Chain A
Amino acid sequence: MHPIRRKRLTIILFLLAGLAIAVGLTTYALRQNINLFYDPTQIAAGEAPRDARIRAGGMVKQGSVVRSEQDLTVEFQVTDFVSSVTVRYTGILPDLFDEGQGVVALGRLQSDGVFVADQVLAKHDENYMPPEVSDALEKAEAASARVPPMNQ
């Protein structure tokens, strides 16, 4: 083979090898680290998987925050005003966490229906709402608006 062509081939092979490694690593890592979002209604309906790390979000229900006397465990209800899910978390909550505010929690759904979070995210300023939460609220609102006609 012509030396220049051989060089080009080497370069292309290098690039392909790099790309292959990148793609391999990516798909491998992606498979384990994708966290899907579920709103409280979906969780209540049993749509959320119990063996995977997922994200759940909504508004923190007024008066639902209960703290432990011994350690940093806290329980609260996250709601989309149709359904609620109990979230249990041990650790420090973000500064902007409060009742009536939007939150997103990462963790696993236990078999007793309690969502055990290892991370809780709150919005960063008062105008800002996580898009997932505002979507979930809109969806819930639309669903509850549709309910009365069905009852009549």
Chain B
Amino acid sequence: MYPELGQFTLILSLLLASLLAVVPLVGAITGRDSLQAFARPLAAGMFVFVALAFAVLTHSFLVDDFSVAYVANNSNSLLPWYYKFSAVWGGHEGSLLLWILMLAGWTLAVAVFSRRLPTVMVSQVLSVMGMVSVGFLLFILVTSNPFDRLLPNIPADGADLNPLLQDFGLIVHPPMLYMGYVGFSVAFAFAIAALINGRLDAAWARWSRPWTTVAWSFLSVGIALGSWWAYYELGWGGWWFWDPVENASLLPWLAGTALMHSLAVTEKRGVFKSWTVLLAIVTFALSLLGTFLVRSGVLTSVHAFASDPTRGAFLLGLLAFTIVSSLTLYAFRAPVVHTRVRYGSLSREIFLLLNNVLLVSSMLLVLVGTLYPLVLDYMGGGRLSIGEPFYNTTFSPIAIAVGLLLGAGIFSRWKKTDGGWLGRRLLWPAAISLIVTAVVMLGLGGFTPWAFAGVLTATWVAVATLADLWDKSSSRHGRWHGLRRQSRSYYGMVLGHLGMAMTMAGATVVSNYGVERDVRMSPGETAELGDLRFTFSEVGERQGPNFVAQYGRFDITRDGKLVATLYPEKRQYRVQRNVMTEAGIDAGLTRDLFVALGERVGDNAWAVRIQYKPLIRWLWLGSLFMAFGGFLAIADRRYRIRERSAGKVPADSGKLEGDVVEAVS
């Protein structure tokens, strides 16, 4: 009974989404307020019904209703309740429902937090969100219904959740990632609404900015969680594999990073408007592309479920429709925009332009690497794969260039920056970075050009960011006063850039100075890794809720002193009979020690992987810093002050409002 109810609420939300896609837009075009007034209630209604459908599916999981095919395929009565909960998005249909729930949530958020926006804008933005929702609700109802029943032959128990996914990382990774993916639909909707209006002004950029930043922050967390999960659950200690599915999440992140920066220029200086709006479209298109790549089964990956081709065709159609229609709109409307603002050839505008060029180039590189094999295969050119070296050789130089420019760009001024002044300003940070890098290189033991470049860039970004903070915070009333006077959005930027430096440092150091050994070991034997001694002391067995685990005990000593004791496991899950590796990790801010049990290779011998991973935590900590910076930036007081001052202006005079707001800043 409940599952049918779930399906019914999904159909209802499709109806509401269809109305949302049409009614407010018609109202906005014809100027009828009565129709525009439907926008917010429809958005709220759509969210409520999608949330109900999601609740019903969750309920089916929690009560082990195996008459529902999706539950039977992805759960089991032995599964602990929290994994039953996360199993809701453990397969194709449910993860799609989560996607739609996020979309409805973002739509609702726009409806709630847009009180100060002109009605026309709100109606159009919500209508565009409605259109996207229609596409995905149709997709789920037509091709991937999570409420399909297995009647009358109800299985006695479920096929269980893939053991790889029975992990804390999976509980949080997809929701965060989807929040990011789907969040870019808001920036997209704002861009489309602005194109329909033909009004790409500073006000539009200011409204889009916080939404873009939040979506980007969630996506950063989502990607970091995915990488962390791969590290301890899947990757045998690797943290990024340039797997097409990972790339699918990196693509919108790179485009979104570019978008955030170009939105800043558009808001502050009123330039790059056409470019910014194009980036907003591209970023969301890449989110859709990611969904297509992951969900259509064209890829060989953990995320790719065995699936039928209609799904891929539907998603591809949706993607093509979105891209073609929005670019057509762009082609007709974008040239309307004129810019009279001037800026010098050495200015913050130019630095941010370079940042965009580099980020978009890196995005294109990843895009080519990801799609080339697919396109070639589709055209009958044979199956091939593009290996990690491709990305490492092409992506790393661009990342370094982005970092080097970032350090210089922080000091640059809008409109015009004096070259000599900038050069003198950069002298000290450059000297400090070089010294720090040299010391780090000596400390780590061993110089390689790549490691040097990476560490130098990371240090340079950090030193330049802090030097700028030092400059800005000098005040007659003392340092503390100066520090407190800086805005939250400035601190957001500082944190974001420091986070980037951390991630770069972590990635460089762990790739260049990490040590890894695969050895054959029997209990009682030892293996050396640098000055660390790994002793395989015993093998034992323990029972989990739905698995049996064999574990090894490893005592790690340095100069005879115990550093850590690790218990890596080999788990066999009862239902799917899958064997899973659960690594033993001693995590630390400066290094991780990692032991994983491979397969049993003899009567008493095991294949064992032991690893020393310096600074690996910095990778993910840096991403969290970046995300936190984003959240801090949108908590800036200026958004609220501006909104209040803008609120005094009649709601329909958006153009005027924009000017007033500019005056306030």
Contact = CB atoms under 8 A, between A and B. Distances in A.
Nearest to A124: B302
Given A3-B342, A37-B382, A127-B306, A32 B389 contact: yes
Interface stretch (A67-75, A77-85, A144-152): A67-75
B599 A93 contact: yes
A72 B579 contact: no
A21 B361 contact: yes
Interface in B328-387: 342-343, 345, 353-354, 357-358, 360-362, 364-365, 368-369, 372, 382-387
Contacts of B18: none
A67 B578 contact: no
A21 B361 CA distance: 9
Interface string B535-578: 00000000000000000000000000000000000000000101
B598 interface: yes
B518 A72 contact: yes
A95 B358 contact: no
Interface in A90-109: 90-93, 95-97, 104, 106
A130 B164 CA distance: 17
Interface stretch (B390-398, B489-497, B615-623): B390-398
Contacts of B342: 3-4, 7
A67 B602 contact: yes
Residues of A in contact with B, size category: 35 or more
Given A92-B598, A93-B598, A130 B580 contact: no
A95 B361 contact: no
B601 A128 contact: no
Given A25-B397, A92-B609, A33 B390 contact: yes
Contact of B387 (A14, A35, A71): A35
Contacts of A131: 300, 383
Contacts of B383: 36-37, 55, 131-132, 135
Interface in A16-44: 18-19, 21-22, 25-26, 28-30, 32-37
Interface in B381-416: 382-387, 389-391, 393-394, 397-398
A125 interface: yes
A22 to B, nearest CB: 4
Contacts of A126: 576, 578
A36 B390 CA distance: 14
B162 interface: yes
A140 to B, nearest CB: 15
A77 B302 CA distance: 25
A110 interface: no
Given A92-B609, A135-B383, A14 B354 contact: yes
B304 interface: yes
Given A29-B390, A29-B394, A72-B519, A96 B579 contact: yes
Contact of B578 (A25, A33, A125): A125
B581 A33 contact: no
Nearest to A15: B357
Contacts of B164: 124-125
Nearest to A90: B518
Contacts of A125: 162, 164, 576, 578
Contacts of A96: 578-579
Contact of B607 (A33, A37, A72): A72
A128 B305 contact: yes
A18 B358 contact: yes
A71 B387 CA distance: 27
B386 A70 contact: no
A25 B384 CA distance: 19
B367 to A, nearest CB: 10
A19 B360 CA distance: 9
B236 interface: yes
Contacts of A135: 383
Contacts of B59: none
A14 B300 contact: no
A22 B387 contact: no
Interface string B308-344: 0000000000000000000000000000000000110
24 contacts: A7-B345, A18-B358, A18-B360, A26-B394, A29-B394, A32-B390, A34-B386, A35-B385, A36-B382, A37-B383, A37-B384, A37-B385, A91-B607, A92-B236, A93-B599, A93-B607, A95-B580, A124-B164, A125-B576, A126-B578, A128-B305, A128-B306, A131-B300, A131-B383
Given A33-B387, A130-B300, 19 more contacts: A3-B342, A25-B365, A29-B390, A30-B368, A30-B369, A33-B390, A34-B386, A35-B384, A55-B384, A71-B520, A72-B518, A92-B609, A95-B580, A121-B300, A125-B576, A128-B305, A131-B300, A132-B300, A132-B383
